[in-house]
Chains A and B, each alone.
Chain A
Amino acid sequence: MKKSRKSDRILLQGSEACVAGALMAGCRFYAGYPITPATEIMEQMARQLPKAGGVFIQMEDEIASLGAVIGASLAGLKGMTATSGPGFSLMQEHISFACMAEVPCVIVDVMRGGPSTGLPTLPSQGDVMQARWGAHGDHPIIVLCPSSTYEFFDLTIKAFNLSERYRSPVILLTDEVTAHTRESVILPPREELAIEERRKPTVPPEWYTPYDDRQTGVPPMPAFGEGYRYHVTGLAHDIRGYPTTRSDEVEALMGRLFSKISKDFHLLQWFDSYNTEDSVVTVIAYGSVARSALRAVREAREKGLRVGLLKLKVLWPFMRRTVMRFLESSAKVLVPETNMGQLSREVKRVNQGKSEIITLNKVDGTTFSPKEILETLEDIYP
């Protein structure tokens, strides 16, 4: 896929790569509100979307931003917004709505130090659990996590694809380091990319039942104005979209919302592994921390330590099968995170005594240096 012609190589910031990916994925609507360290995404969108025939609007807050994105999606456009911790908190109400009403949308959270206003310009991975459970009510969610400029581009396209395929909000959980780092990348030409489009109904409007699909679990979705007049609501609804409190109908709805994503768990095992073939200690990391971890693993190998790295690109639904495989083959697992231990809880839950889990946490506004991870590896190496 990657041609190494020198002229194809460009220098891009993570945020710019995200915008490039979104536009190639067909994003034609952006609504947002300024917030550090996610503002670059909005500014790029303001510049590029009108030229691409799309719509950009700066809204009055983050609640409004995601509301507008959901509206645009119902009208047929692929849409996204980007924010950071405080704005992400405000968006939870509408993430919940998009889950219930099954409206595709992509939300970027460029994590910064928290809680509250916290450390606006400094990196963190403190929103891992908010991304999973921040929205009220039981709901499934897809959360992808890039660790480099190219991955930000690639996962943004995948986020749109998954969002359209499952009619679900998809969250791109990244951090200040990944969003602001400039790297030289070669972006693939558009024709080499797999872009998924929303499945539309094939039956005439009078035969259309908006929330009934027993084959894929994801009902086809017409845009407003295409002749399929239907009702969209955040209330629990029957297959026609009308409010219901009947337990059999609610149970069917909730069951389908979860199973439409969980049944495809094998398609959502996206990770990279380095030196794990014979690793005694495996590092499980994600986002910018995985970059420091990779360097640490390589340096440890040079010192003769059999260590490896599992870099997760999907955080939710948690890749239980994949992680389990590495837990079974490693005597110890190190989970470094720039939070007080969020994803490590999930690793421990899956572990069930298979391996020894060691956590390494940091919440001081800096990310891990390779040295810090290397020292820990040396300490814990059996």
Chain B
Amino acid sequence: MREREHLIHKYLRSSKRFPHIWCSGCGIGILLGALIRAIDGSGYGKDDIVLISGIGCSGRLPTYVDFNTLHTTHGRALTFATGIKLAKPSLKVIVVMGDGDATAIGGNHFIHAARRNIGVTSIIINNQTYGMTGGQFSPTTPFGLETSASPYGNLEHPFDICGLAREAGATFVARSTVYHARLLEEAIGMALNKEGFSVVEVISHCATYFGRQTGLESPVEMMKWQRDNAVRVEKAKELPEDELREKIVIGVLVDREAPAYHEEYERLRAKCGVADNAL
């Protein structure tokens, strides 16, 4: 408890008028806690961290924490992050996005940031809905679900965000739920240690909209669902495919080495006759 208070005082912005804008029971707060603990354990100073967001409930997250913080446009956070990382590679750049933010309006930026292996840690809070605008279906909403924009059932099939990240070229991909808060903290810590493009998908819950639409009306019920439906990646390997289909595979899914874009660029610049970033 004392440790937690210490972290709150160290990282939350006292000058920001709390309370935050999230609904009570929202999963984003659990993520914020895990993120702060992971950053605290990573050894980076507050001046070294740039925390960026797009638009949506997750977009407000950087407002509350004492880093260099940037709240960008819908879906485009990774483009700003690309500019910041290449302009100043010494900064640790973290981008927090929602599922609609990262894979609908920002889907193109997401796959290209992964393909280029931009040195950015992407944290995608997947609550399977557009919460801030009132519970419309997102690219991760299950097929058939009745939402406020699909009153007769969703005709679209959901993305596998981690699969997308892996195939596009991310060097680190992990998934956790907010129920598995320790795993979440570990996964973010590992992602922060990578030089290249790292992705942590965070299965979260929106009790206000998604919960109501699926019949899981309280955050507690939704988190129990996360607990009961998550399978560790090690165990998932032993399960038959049809049994896995309804499960959430959590853990580290990809961890490989590849030079990050800024490292490649440094080599290119050296080849051109400029050895450092001195202007």
For window 204-252 of A, CB contacts with B under 8 Å fall at 223-227, 229-235, 240, 242-243
| In the complex, residue of chain B having the shortest beta-carbon distance to the beta carbon of A53 | B274
Quick check: is B157 within 8 A (CB to CB) of the other chain?
no
- How many residues in A have their beta carbons less than 8 Å from beta carbons of B? 48
Q: Which one of B69, B87, B91, B277 contacts A231 once the chains associate, using CB atoms below 8 Å? A: B69
Task: Please tell me if the beta carbons of B86 and A57 are within 8 angstroms of each other in the complex.
Answer: yes
Distance (whole angstroms) from the CB of B32 to the closest CB of chain A: 15
- Size band of the interface chain B makes with A: 35 or more
A-B pairs with the 9 shortest C-beta distances?
A71-B83, A67-B79, A68-B83, A71-B80, A75-B87, A233-B71, A72-B83, A72-B87, A224-B68
| In the complex, residue of chain B having the shortest beta-carbon distance to the beta carbon of A57 | B86
Q: Which one of B69, B90, B109 contacts A64 once the chains associate, using CB atoms below 8 Å? A: B109
| In the complex, residue of chain A having the shortest beta-carbon distance to the beta carbon of B52 | A71
Task: Please tell me if the beta carbons of A242 and B16 are within 8 angstroms of each other in the complex.
Answer: yes
For window 52-103 of A, CB contacts with B under 8 Å fall at 52-55, 57, 59-61, 63-77, 79, 93-94, 97
Contacts of A31 in B (CB 8 A): 82-83
Task: Please tell me if the beta carbons of A232 and B274 are within 8 angstroms of each other in the complex.
Answer: no
Task: Please tell me if the beta carbons of A51 and B72 are within 8 angstroms of each other in the complex.
Answer: no
Quick check: is A28 within 8 A (CB to CB) of the other chain?
yes
| In the complex, residue of chain B having the shortest beta-carbon distance to the beta carbon of A47 | B272
Task: Please tell me if the beta carbons of B79 and A231 are within 8 angstroms of each other in the complex.
Answer: no
The residue among B48, B86, B87, B272 with the most chain A CB atoms within 10 A of its own CB is B87
Task: Please tell me if the beta carbons of A230 and B69 are within 8 angstroms of each other in the complex.
Answer: yes
Quick check: is B268 within 8 A (CB to CB) of the other chain?
yes
Task: Please tell me if the beta carbons of A70 and B83 are within 8 angstroms of each other in the complex.
Answer: yes
Q: Which one of B109, B265, B273 contacts A55 once the chains associate, using CB atoms below 8 Å? A: B265
Task: Please tell me if the beta carbons of A232 and B83 are within 8 angstroms of each other in the complex.
Answer: no
Q: Contacts A231-B69, A231-B71: A75 and B269 contacting too (C-beta < 8 A)?
A: no
Q: List 5 A-B contacts (CB under 8 A).
A: A50-B268, A53-B269, A226-B47, A233-B71, A240-B15
Q: Which one of A51, A68, A224, A227 contacts B82 once the chains associate, using CB atoms below 8 Å? A: A68
Contacts of B91 in A (CB 8 A): 75, 224-225
Q: Which one of B48, B76, B277 contacts A67 once the chains associate, using CB atoms below 8 Å? A: B76
Inter-chain CA distance A230–B13, complex, in Å, is 10
Inter-chain CA distance A67–B87, complex, in Å, is 13
Quick check: is A29 within 8 A (CB to CB) of the other chain?
yes
Interface flags, A6-26, vs B, CB<8A=1, else 0: 000000000000000000001
Contacts of B48 in A (CB 8 A): 225
Distance (whole angstroms) from the CB of B92 to the closest CB of chain A: 10
Inter-chain CA distance A75–B81, complex, in Å, is 10
Contacts of A231 in B (CB 8 A): 13, 62-63, 69-71
Quick check: is B67 within 8 A (CB to CB) of the other chain?
yes
Q: Contacts A71-B80, A223-B88, A230-B68: A93 and B73 contacting too (C-beta < 8 A)?
A: yes
